[in-house]
Amino acid sequence: MNGEQLNEWSLKSLRSGLSASERAQLEAWLQESPDNYARWSEEHEINRLLAELPTVPLSSNFTQQVLQAVRREQRPLELSRVVRWIGAVRKSWLRPIAATATVGMVVFFVYRRESQLQQKETVTSLQLVSGIATALRPTADIPAAPRFELLEDFEAIRQLGVPNSEPDLTLLAVLQ
């Protein structure tokens, strides 16, 4: 016996009573298993208690309340003003912000690439100049420049001596 038929017979037995054939079928089913008797007793007791409850009259605007509840469920949830504002800003500003960020990144990467190329050119130029200077050094009579550490040491500068205060006549002759 399914649950619907069991409930229907329980309600019928409380209201008007079961017919003889229904009563015989119920008795046969109850004797099949102790579980059937437990199910019947539980169902019958629940229906008996429900029948004892007083009947509550419906409110005068019951239909209106039901329709309002249906409309509320169908209507999308209203968002708070802050959430709506954020949504509006996101919709209206998302593309311009994304475009600005993309352009900014492209400009940054182009600048970075140009800077790297300029650094490479500078390094190449310095290598060329240092190569020429190195090539000329052995043949020219150019005194080596003092090391940087030596220029920081004032005592060493003093020991280098004062340059010759006499004019260099050969240099004057070349310049004229």
User: Does any domain span residue 93?
Assistant: yes
Per-residue pLDDT of 110-165, as tens digits, reads 999 999 999 999 988 888 888 776 766 555 455 566 566 655 666 666 666 656 56
- State how far the Cα of 77 lies from the Cα of 79, in Å rounded to an integer: 6
- pLDDT-above-90 percentage for the chain: 14
- Domain boundaries, position 16: 3-54
Q: Is residue 33 over pLDDT 60?
A: yes
The label of the residue with tokens 């310095």 reads 126
- pLDDT of res. 107: 97
- pLDDT-above-70 percentage for the chain: 76
User: Does any domain span residue 70?
Assistant: no
User: Does any domain span residue 134?
Assistant: yes
User: Does any domain span residue 172?
Assistant: no
- pLDDT of res. 104: 96
Torsions phi, psi for 141 (to 5 deg): -100, 65
Label residue 3 by pLDDT band (50, 70, 90).
confident
Residues 46 and 102 both lie in one domain: no
Residues 92 and 28 both lie in one domain: no
The label of the residue with tokens 């600048």 reads 111
Per-residue pLDDT of 96-105, as tens digits, reads 889 999 999 9
Residues 112 and 156 both lie in one domain: yes
- State how far the Cα of 44 lies from the Cα of 13, in Å rounded to an integer: 9
Burial of 137-152, coded b for 16+ CB within 10 Å and e otherwise, reads eeeeeeeeeeeeeeee
Residues 114 and 49 both lie in one domain: no
In 3D space, the residue among 2, 8, 1 whose CA is nearest the CA of residue 44 turns out to be 8
Most confident of 2-16, 61-75, 108-122: 108-122
Q: Is 18 exposed, middle or buried (0-12, 13-18, 19+ CB in 10 A)?
A: middle
Task: Please state the separation of Cα 35 from the chain's center in Å.
Answer: 55
Residues 33 and 91 both lie in one domain: no
* Overall number of domains in the chain: 2
User: Does any domain span residue 149?
Assistant: yes
Residues 48 and 105 both lie in one domain: no
Position 3, amino acid: G
Summary mean pLDDT of the chain: 80
The label of the residue with tokens 């240099």 reads 171
User: Does any domain span residue 65?
Assistant: no
User: Does any domain span residue 29?
Assistant: yes
